[in-house]
Structure 1
């Protein structure tokens, strides 16, 4: 059975999973969830994703939700397929886990809520909190100084090989210029890294949305 990804074509977290599926060369079926009709709140959806969110995967009856958990599952299931993305050697894996923590603690918790205020709310006809967004983006810009220090010594966040930790940045990072934040392009080593990961064929394949498959 082909692994099935359920989500929204342009959802940040759905595309986070899709980019890893493409990077790992995993064939998958994509089934869109229609938020406009409240499909994500139906009993059928909630039975698979109890928070009424996307994405989730169905791998021959095995259900996993939360995008980062799905990505790790994919890498564990297909370790020899496509790009490695998760190192095995003890010290390399420790640096990978460190990089994953960096993304969660120093990037996502600022980029995601800023995007909510400046992008998602306005696109739903709601008023965002510009003052909150500005504060979040100011903090993010300072956090990127740490990224610059790390990336001045190595190609990617966990070392010289790309990992999940780098790819996890793609969906929200790609939204930042749309809300007026260009911090990923203003620091030389961050800019070099960002150009590198946004140029990967896996991201180019999904960045503008995921097509439904029959």
Structure 2
């Protein structure tokens, strides 16, 4: 069987999200770089993979997918098999909680964090090297604090978001949080002991450690 192909650089949080799931299930994959800085993601060739001209895209045999969150669900549904770690979906209650926190990540956490990541990480990568918009960053810095207050209440009761075992709901948070933790905004995490302990556990996870190295290697 040909390896799964991931189109896009791992330095992209959305690409890293997909690669993390592939590492988690242990499936063979190949990363095909798409140059963000030169606008290759808007090329006719890439638009055949992702009609919105975004990263990533994933080719799994004859199936071509885009949207990183949908890709991650596909990867786990198809490849997790009989692993001991069922990523928090060993029963209907756990599956429901995973779904809840996946929605929280997409609709609450990501909108609070993503504008900072975009300005600090992705804008400088654009063609001709963009300059971060400090006004936009300033308008965004207070938003993670409010959202993370809800996380702190949850993680004061559970080790992970959907229960006592790591799940896709936790992994989904990794790429953006990894970048934010390297910025001055890390103070908000330090103020929340439950969130801090959760993040330290997540960073100790084998697949997360491997993708961390890949992301840092690309951005270094």
TM-score higher than 0.5 here? yes
1:153 is aligned, of 157, 175, 178, to 157
In the alignment, what sits opposite 1:193?
198
Residue 53 of structure 1 deviates from its aligned partner by 1.4
C-alpha deviation, 1:81, in angstroms: 4.9
Q: Secondary structure at the match of 1:178?
A: coil
Structure-1 separation of matches of 2:189 and 2:78: 32
5+ residue gaps, structure 2: none
1:52 corresponds in structure 2 to: 53
Q: 1:120-165, CA deviations, whole angstroms, 9 ceiling, x for partnerless residues?
A: 3245543333233233221211211110100000011111111111
Root-mean-square deviation (CA), in Å?
2.0
Q: CA offsets, 1:54-108, max 9 Å, x none? A: 1111111101111111110011102325432251522211111111111112211
Matched with 1:17 is 18
Alignment gaps of 5+ in structure 1: none
Q: In structure 2, do the counterparts of structure 1 residues 37 and 138 end up closer, same or farther at CA, with 3 Å as the change threshold?
A: closer
Asked whether the equivalents of residues 112 and 147 of structure 2 are also in contact (C-alpha less than 8 Å), the reply is no
SS in 2 for 1:207: helix
What SS does structure 1 have at the residue aligned with 2:49? coil
Q: Show the counterpart of 2:213.
A: 208
Is residue 9–residue 31 contact of structure 2 (8 Å, CA) maintained in 1?
no
Rounded to whole Å, the distance in 2 between the matches of 1:105 and 1:40 is 25
Which residue, 167, 184, 191 being the options, matches 1:180? 184
Contact preservation (8 Å) 1:24, 1:81: no
Cα pair 2:21 2:72 within 8 Å, conserved: yes
- Normalising to structure 2: TM-score of the pair? 0.88
The residue number in structure 2 matching 1:112 is 114
Asked if 1:129 corresponds to 2:133, the answer is: yes
In the alignment, the residues of structure 1 paired with residue 36 and residue 130 of structure 2 have an alpha-carbon distance, to the nearest angstrom, of 17
Shift in Å, 1:208 = 3.3
Count residues with an aligned counterpart.
212
CA contact (8 A) 1:45 1:52 kept: yes
CA contact (8 A) 1:12 1:171 kept: yes
Distance 1:19 1:27 in 2: 12
Higher mean C-alpha displacement, 126-135 vs 148-157: 126-135
